[in-house]
Amino acid sequence: MRELVLLHAIKSAILALFFMAALPAFGQEPIRFDKEPLLIQTAAGKVLHFTVEIASTPDQRAYGLMFRKAMADDAGMIFDFDEPRRVTMWMENTILPLDMLFADDTGIIRHIKEKAVPYSRDIIDSMGKVKYVVELNAGIVSKLGIKPGDRIVSATTTKKAK
């Protein structure tokens, strides 16, 4: 009898934990991202075409590509930080390995982090002031020959300051 009571208590505790963890997700709108075309103009003269989601609000930037299980080869996300600053990111809750392009306010890529490791809490540093970070599938930078000094161009990078 004591074993049944203990088993029932354990089941109840597990169910309570499940509902407490799931509760915040039930009343919240999923974070939505607009999309836009993004070009990467390489120093070698190539123009590479992508479609990126835009993370421009604090909530969007915090959520980013977390929990995504797949992304098209020509897709990605652009993070707009409003003002140039040193940026640090990490991969916690990010399933996909990513390449990260850190670009200044003119869209010039200043630093690249290739093959960021999924779920890692290691800090990924922009290594200087940047305004934009573009995340692409890991391996794209190497495959397409993207390098510091190349330029990202999109509606986000060319919009006028407010």
| pLDDT at res. 30 | 79
Domain architecture of the chain: domains with CATH: 32-158 (2.60.120.1140)
Arithmetic mean of pLDDT, 111-120: 97
Reply yes or no on whether the pLDDT at 98 is more than 80: yes
Contact 43, 70 (CB under 8 A): no
The token pair that represents 88 in the structure block: 């640090």
Does 138 score more than 60 pLDDT?
yes
For residue 35, give the DSSP letter.
E
Q: What is the pLDDT of residue 11?
A: 54
Do 143 and 115 meet the contact criterion of CB atoms below 8 Å apart? no
Residue-wise pLDDT tens digits, 20-67: 444 444 445 678 999 999 999 999 999 999 999 999 999 999 999 999
Q: Count CB neighbours of 6 within 10 A.
A: 10
Chain centroid, CA 112 distance in Å: 14
